[in-house]
Amino acid sequence: MKKIAILTSGGDAPGMNAAISSIVHSGFNLDIQVIGVLKGFEGLIDGHFLELNYDSIKNIIQRGGTILKTSRSKRFLRKSYRKVAFDHLKSKKIEGLIVIGGDGTFKGASVFSKEFQIPVVGIPCTIDNDLAGTDFCIGFDTAINTAMDAIDRIRDTAESHNRMFFVEVMGRDSGMIAMLSGIAGAAEVILMPETKMSIEEVVIELKKQFKNNTTSLIVVVAEGDEEGDAHFISRKVKTHFPDLDIRITVLGHIQRGGKPTCMDRFLSIRLGVAALNALKNGYSSDMVGIVNNKVVYLSLERAFKKQSKLNQEMFQFFESFRLNRTI
């Protein structure tokens, strides 16, 4: 294998640039030419390629986002457009593809690899940390540290004014960001899809905190909580605490941006090297991950079909922590 391409797809995450840098450096060492695809699968369809060299990756390891840009491609869902994408790779004599992204990226890459028999290796990169086959996805550590820092800052003003704050973090289907940042930020209540906590239960928890003479309260809400978003839940809670000053902060996309942490940079570099080696050694339609601090491989299909959830030990820990906070 002498020539491969890489692309970033779906939501951006801190560490994507570090992974790109790692792959390019590894390519130099293995005498493999690395071509960048601009704007993800959309760029693959449109034939937007960029040869990557030392100048391309200079001083990008510390930058958030992705120098290759990203997109969510509806066209790639259609076989006719996937054929166009494959023809572009073939015309450039590209022998393998590395995709950096989450479940949607892996779904498209898995189908593409099987349809056209082109080797594809995936690097898990999503702040939700919800892919099977790896303990951590690129971007997760930065996102939870960003959220925790925001909660700490909000706590300062909450205590100064005796306020209740609802802090909404990302996580449509996964409560990993909410749980870790909420516990680390000493939130009084944490709401996430996995817990299925009702408004009535939230009110009971908050009233227990008031009995403990708590004068400021933080409620962390994952955006995908089944009871609703932070605005909706706060309005429901307000009816039980009419005299309390309640404020809402939606962290939104600041969790995706910013410089990646040391852990995310190291993870990105390690997975980048592993992905290129996997292509070189004949892996196809597989994801590289880290489990128990060792590089492992899992099919792209299993990675997105068996999405990572809070395991029983983590869930029991959360429940124990929650009860101890409210006794």
Helix axes 16-30, 262-280, angle to 10 degrees: 40
Q: Which residues of 217-238 are buried (b: 16+ CB within 10 A; e: fewer)?
A: bbbbbbbbbebbbbeebbeebe
Torsion of CA 98, 101, 107, 109, to 10 degrees: -20
* Distance from the Cα of residue 208 to its chain's centroid: 34
Tokens representing 215 are 């004068």
Token pair of 181, please? 């940042």
**How far, in Å, are 52, 117, 163, 191, 225 from residue 245 at the CA level?**
53, 60, 5, 20, 23
Sign of the dihedral through C-alpha 267, 221, 320, 214: positive
- The DSSP letter of residue 193 is T
Q: Which position among 103, 128, 141, 225 bears the catalytic label?
A: 128
Cβ neighbours, 10 Å, residue 204? 14
Distances (CA, A) of 4 to 31, 96, 275: 11, 5, 11
**Is-catalytic flag, 128?**
yes
Determine the residue type at 327: I
Rounded-to-integer distance, Cα 45 and Cα 135, Å: 32
Which residues are known to be catalytic?
Answer: 128
